[in-house]
Each structure stands twice: as C-alpha cells, then as structure tokens.
Homo-oligomer: A and B are copies of this chain.
Amino acid sequence: MNDADNSPYSHTPEPGEVGLVEPRDFVHPQPFTFDCGQSLPGFTLRYETYGRLNAARDNAVIVLHALSGDHHCAGIHSLNDRKPGWWNNLIGPGKAVDTNRFFVLCSNVLGGCQGSSGPSSINPATGVPYGISFPFVTVRDMIRAQKLLCDHLGITRLAGVIGGSMGGMQALQWGIEYPDFVHRVIAMATTARENAQGIAFNEVGRQAIMQDPDWNQGIYGKGGGPRVGLAIARMMAHITYLSDTSMDRKFGRRKKSAAPAASGAALDVQFEVESYLKHQGESFINRFDANSYLYITRAIDHFDLPGTYGSLEQAFAPVKAHSLVVGFTSDWLFPPEQNRHIALALLRAGKRATYAQLDTDLGHDSFLLESPQIYDLVRDFLERA
C-alpha cells in the first residue's frame, strides 16, 4: 500500500534539480610536488559529480570554487538540507550547465578544509594536523591536483571549466596549463593579477587570524583555533563581496533595536547589517579552517599571470580553448575592467575570447545571482558546436 512517489522516505528529484548527491574522495597515492618545491607523499581531493560521463569521456565540465566554497556545488546531501549546493541555480538537468548533457565535476581545492588535503589534515608522520607545515599552495597547484582527479576518472577532455572569483583564476590557469585538455574556459568576476587592494584586504583578514592568541602558530585541535579572528576576517571579506547599493537595499539603516540610552549598550548590535555580518562570521567559523583561510588567501595574493609568465599575452600563448570572461558592473573587488582586460589580452594573443559585462548591483557575488542573463551566456557558450 506504500505509494513510493508520495513516501517522505523516497526521493524523486524535482524537474531540473540534481537531487541527492554524495561526495567522494579521490586519494592520489603518489608524491605531489607543490610549486613551492615541497612535496607530499600523496593527497586527497573530496569531490562530487552530477550527470554521466559519455562513452568518449569528453563531456566533463569542471566547476571551480572560490575562497570559501567547496565541492558541493549542486544538489542536496539529505532531504533535510535547508540549502542545496552553492551553484545549484546554474547546474542541473536542463539548467545552464546541463547535467543531462554534461558530466559535472567539482572538487574541494588542495589546501582546503572540506575533505581535501590541507593544513587541517593529519600529518601521518606526526599524527597531528599539518598546520602551517603544510606546503604553501598556489592556484596552479590546485588545478594540477584536479587534473590528476580527471585522469583518475578517465576523462579524456574537459568540455568546459567554469568558475567565479578564485574559481575564475583556476579556470584561466586550466586553459594555460592543459591547452589540449580544455575545450572551453568560463571565468567570471575574476582577475589575471591580484592587485594591491585585494592583497591588502586579504592581509587584514590574515592578521585578524594570526594575531588571535588561539591561532598559536597554526597549532590547534578540531573545533578550536582562532575563532574570533576568523570570524572578523570573514565579516570584513563579506563586505567586499557585496556592493554599497545591495547592502543599502538589503539592510539600509534598519535597526534591530531602538537606539539605547545607556552608553555601553551603544556598542551592542544595533543595525541589521551588524547582525547579518555577525551571523556570517559565526556560521563561517563552524565550517572553515583558519589555516586554510590563510593558505587560500595567500594563493590568491600570488596569482599574477603577467608577472609569472612575463606578460598576460605570453601567459595565454599556449591556450587553445575558447574563453568567455564575464565582468559585473557592481563588482569592486575584481571590477569589470580587470575582467575585460583578460579577454582583450586573449584576443591580442590570437585566441578566441568573448567578454560579457553584466549590469548588476549585487557586487562581486553577482556571479552567483539567479540571472537568466548569466544562464543564457553560460548555456550558449558551453553548447556552441
């Protein structure tokens, strides 16, 4: 008498939804040498896949996450999940990154803290977390590790690589490093060269972490560490992901409570925007490792394609992929000009490149918007013959 379709215990994915997904671990058992020269005897990447790899094994799309992202970019892990993966609006059956057509792969970056090897991983030689003895990671290290995962999965070619922010940096690096393997590159809200302002914000976040006495030179147990410093770093960074306009629309000067008369109470949370940021900080420390935050921001600081390759045109010289670069008018962290600059350099280097600039007011996080414009851009670009 059990009607499976109506049973709360079975799950039929919503049309267009990836539905229930499970992360897996790729354990690479051979030594891996980082750009810094240090090696590990092996590493783990936690990843998820949606859709099916075709017979030619050439329909994979890698989704690349930003600083605080992870491998869970679509679907849900449990029917109780309040939220799906972070780019669920873009990825799914019939969506812009169509899992009926593509085999979508997303891994937590090397140096991360969501299952991939990073500073919070246990060092087998000592039995305690690596902490800051973990090798310093670059964006190039991240994508070289992803390539080993692709090889492991038998992928013969990537139909596309796509990411925003640090994900966009990885996408560009993919096109440079593995030109014969990457068919299309989509880089959004990103830069070819982290500039002084970006480094400066990253450094303030790192100082908040490292000056927290609980950081203790990176030595701390699970659930411990510099929670105060990490929350402050996150609160600050979160402001840089939004825009003046979007914050004013979302919060304005609305108050949580009437302005208090007592002097000390004037320092309590009064405005909604304060309460929002506080929540952002507090929820972040429960899911992110402070040492990973240090490592990944440093990887971003060191991302400098023109500096590394002599010029941006030289950096792009090996690229064979067709690239789509997307900038957002309200993004002041990686402003449209920095994105446009990438596309122009690709063109100057004789590559196929398209630049799209979208008029949004959400700021840097615009690449995550529920926006038919973004969906159309991505769909058309990936599915072009």
Contacts and interface: CB of A to CB of B under 8 A. Distances in A.
Interface of A: 36-38, 132-136, 193-197, 199-201, 203-204, 206-208, 210-211, 213, 217-218, 228, 231-232, 235-236, 239, 242-244, 247-248, 250-253, 259, 261, 263-264, 266-267, 270-271, 273-274, 277-278, 281, 294-295, 298, 301-302, 304, 307, 332, 335
Contacts of A277: 200, 203-204
B253 A267 contact: no
A135 B261 CA distance: 9
A232 B208 contact: yes
Given A196-B252, A200-B273, A218-B264, 9 more contacts: A195-B244, A197-B248, A199-B253, A199-B273, A200-B247, A203-B273, A203-B274, A207-B232, A232-B232
Contact of A132 (B132, B228, B261, B263): B263
Contacts of A208: 208, 232
Contacts of A252: 195-196
Nearest to A254: B196
Contacts of A201: 236, 239
Contacts of A307: 253
Contacts of A235: 200, 203-204, 207
B132 A267 contact: yes
13 contacts: A132-B263, A136-B263, A195-B247, A196-B244, A197-B244, A199-B274, A203-B277, A204-B232, A204-B239, A207-B232, A210-B267, A232-B232, A266-B295
